[in-house]
Amino acid sequence: MAARRHPPPRPPIRMPGFLSMLHINDLVYRIEGRPILDGATVAVPAGHKVGLIGRNGAGKTTLLRLITGEVHPDDGSIGLPRNHRIGYVAQEAPGGEASLIEWVLSTDTERAALLSEAENASDPHRIAEIQIRLQDIDAHSAPARAAQILAGLGFDDAAQRSACRNFSGGWRMRVALASVLFLEPELLLLDEPTNYLDLEGTMWLESYLRSYPHTVLMVSHDRDLLNTAVGAILHLERGKLTLYSGGYDAFEEARRERQRLELKLKKKQDDQRRHIQAFIDRFKAKATKARQAQSRVKALARMQPIAEQVDERVAPFLLPSPEKMIASPILRLEGAAAGYDPARPILTRLDLRIDNDDRIALLGQNGNGKSTFAKLIAGKLKALSGNVFGAAKVEVGYFAQHQLDELNPLHTPYDYMAKLMPEATEAQRRTKLGTFGFGADKADTKCANLSGGEKARLLLALTAFHRPHLLILDEPTNHLDVDSREALIHALMEYEGAVILISHDRHLVEATADRLWLVKGGTVRAYDGDIDGYRAELIAERSGRSRAVAAARETAADAAKGTGASRADQRRAAAGRRAELAPLKKAMEAAEREVARIAGEIAKLDALLADPGLYVRDPAAAQKSAHTRGALAKRLGEAEEQWLVAGEAYEAAESAATEANSVD
């Protein structure tokens, strides 16, 4: 498969006068007198998928709450079309006796009310009206749509029929997300939707959002998701909003170019100001030059200074390497089993080794046993059977998201450091905290008042304090912004010990892991492919189209059984297998051409929509182009899926045919 390409960088989008789904005008909002939003203005066109980014604490969630009307601005306005619907994931997860599928369906209140009325209605005219309306809202396909969304988020048929109360909070938040996606609101607001998803669920959501038929505004720090699922980036910085065309990589390049231009303009303006000031200072006392000097004073007053770009510094992460390396393998599992009940182990047949320089990412859906395996490696669980060699000698650092809630809310980072360094002086402890990014302003802040990102930073510092030989990181990035995630990647690259990583952040996995292990079917095994290959397998598996692969292998195997056949029969069988491959190859190549064609059309529309003047010259054409792009984006997602499935079918059939030919 061809490598994914990101669109080239483009300047910020400005769309004066364009009919938008969301129009924010001079928005001001303060918390305890501190401005969070200060004259923020932006217009988001209907049908656009926009990623909302900004540093932790910049006000992204506050902006979503302002859009929903949960809080009200101090000044400015938020404009939305009449009769629009906003979808926003509720903070409380669903519970109770209702099954997952029933709960999701019940969130469509109009459908539920119409179906209830239809059971008791007796007036023929009203019955007709109800049935027409049910047909208009596609009510009869709703159970299938709800089931498809739940399956994409990791719930199989049995889980969908189970009561909501049977699931943990994280899984129930997935159900809340499923209900919002099921309703298909005209404006979909998502706040870190991948925090409760595994890598597999994140990949599904990425594909789903690309083909979503309406407007999406999504807060996310997942770089890969921001490169593939959205067509624009809305940057919130120092209370201002700026909209950029393209994904995250394009945003970074466009922002850097914008900063370079502004710095260049600032230098030029500073030179002009110095020149004017020198003229004023030289000639203001001379009568013959007084008028010219006075005009220069007015010119200087009118010259608005260009603000100097000052990026907020992201504190680096420090992951101290082991003081003394242990010879490989540092851990070895032989026939091990793990779980919580000896009668029902979660993982069995574990025959693996971990070397001192391994960087391993665990793949597999939530519930398959990734965290159980991590606990076994960390020594938090004893093996139910088999052997785990090397554990007594290995210093392990274990980070898990649930530990954030276990931090004492009344303790400060300094309190934790004092416990780890009882013999050290206060200055030594504070110096150590500084290396982990906790300066004087944060070292004495109670954990209750730390942000999620700051708590994650503290927990990582505690995890790595004793220079472990093996770091186990279970979803370390959930509360980290994009820049902090990049800082963590750099720290992991410099760390010299072994790493076991569980993460839904594909960019983090691809940047730091050099081995993949798949947790599936009650065991853990090495996975030979890459993330793209794994994604293709998931798509093929979920689309239920692996039948072509199985049929091709069966055909090849049957042909290979005829060991007593003549050479002529064998040649005819081989020719038949080649003939069977031809339509599969043709389908794969046709799907690839279709992907390239649609991508080309989208690129042309992106270039057209990036022209700010279009929205002034011809708003109707701009709106039509935006709608066309949305439809093409949906078609592109479908075409890519067809391409991947066709490619999988052809490759499997070709492999099976090769095996059969070798038997002949």
Domains in the chain: boundaries? 1-85+185-246, 93-182, 262-302, 331-538, 544-663
Q: pLDDT-derived band of residue 273, with 50, 70 and 90 as boundaries?
A: low
Contact call for residues 160 and 141 (beta carbons, < 8 A): no
What span, in angstroms and rounded, lies between the C-alpha atoms of 627 and 312? 37
Q: What are phi and psi of 201, to 5 degrees?
A: -65, -35
Q: pLDDT-derived band of residue 516, with 50, 70 and 90 as boundaries?
A: very high
pLDDT, position 542: 66
| Chain centre distance of CA 234 | 15
β-pairing, 470-474 with 396-400? parallel
Distances (CA, A) of 123 to 112, 126, 613: 19, 5, 55
Contact call for residues 375 and 381 (beta carbons, < 8 A): yes
Domains 1-85+185-246 and 331-538 share a fold: yes
Tell me the two tokens of residue 647: 């490619």
The residue among 571 and 153 whose pLDDT is bigger is: 153
pLDDT, position 298: 60
Least confident of 75-84, 275-284, 589-598: 275-284
642 CB neighbour count, 10 Å cutoff: 20
pLDDT, position 15: 34
Q: Tell me the residue ranges of DSSP E strands in 107-260.
A: 187-191, 215-219, 232-237, 240-245
pLDDT, position 294: 62
Percentages of the chain per state (helix, strand, coil), in multiples of 5: 50, 15, 30
The tens digit of pLDDT for each residue in 13-40 reads 333 333 467 899 999 998 877 888 988 9
Q: Which CATH architecture has domain 331-538?
A: 3-Layer(aba) Sandwich (3.40)
Q: Which single residue is written with the structure tokens 């047909």?
A: 135
Q: What are phi and psi of 449, to 5 degrees?
A: -105, 5
Q: What are phi and psi of 88, to 5 degrees?
A: -145, 130
The tens digit of pLDDT for each residue in 235-251 reads 998 889 999 988 888 88
- Percent of the chain's residues with pLDDT above 90: 16
What span, in angstroms and rounded, lies between the C-alpha atoms of 59 and 120? 49
pLDDT at 445 over 60: yes
Closest CA to 515 of 536, 532, 501, 496: 501
Tell me the two tokens of residue 161: 């029929």
Closest CA to 439 of 457, 456, 425: 457
Tell me the two tokens of residue 162: 């189970």
Q: Does the predicted TM-score (pTM) go above 0.75?
A: no
Identify the DSSP state of 163. Answer: B
Give CA torsion, residues 95, 97, 100, 103, to 10 deg: -80
Contact call for residues 204 and 153 (beta carbons, < 8 A): yes
Q: Within a 13 Å sphere around the CA of 76, how many CA atoms are in the beta-carbon half?
A: 22
What span, in angstroms and rounded, lies between the C-alpha atoms of 513 and 249? 21
pLDDT, position 198: 84
Q: Cis before residue 468, ω within 30 degrees of 0?
A: no
Residue 360, classed as helix, strand or coil, is strand
The residue among 420 and 634 whose pLDDT is bigger is: 420
What span, in angstroms and rounded, lies between the C-alpha atoms of 535 and 549? 17
Residue type, 98: A
Q: Which residues on neighbouring strands pair with residue 361, listed in sequence order?
A: 501, 516
What span, in angstroms and rounded, lies between the C-alpha atoms of 348 and 278? 81
pLDDT, position 548: 41
pLDDT, position 522: 92
Domain 1-85+185-246, CATH:
3.40.50.300
Q: Which residues on neighbouring strands pair with residue 516, listed in sequence order?
A: 361, 527
* Residue 547, burial from CB neighbour count under 10 angstroms (0-12, 13-18, 19+): exposed
Residue 387, classed as helix, strand or coil, is strand
Tell me the two tokens of residue 612: 């700010």
Residue type, 349: R
What span, in angstroms and rounded, lies between the C-alpha atoms of 358 and 340? 27
pLDDT at 550 over 50: no
Distances (CA, A) of 27 to 17, 41, 335, 339, 402: 18, 7, 62, 53, 36
Contact call for residues 274 and 305 (beta carbons, < 8 A): no
pLDDT, position 397: 92
Contact call for residues 398 and 406 (beta carbons, < 8 A): no
Contact call for residues 232 and 243 (beta carbons, < 8 A): yes
What span, in angstroms and rounded, lies between the C-alpha atoms of 33 and 28? 11
Q: Within a 13 Å sphere around the CA of 246, how many CA atoms are in the beta-carbon half?
A: 19
Q: Which single residue is written with the structure tokens 């082991």?
A: 322
The residue among 643 and 78 whose pLDDT is bigger is: 78
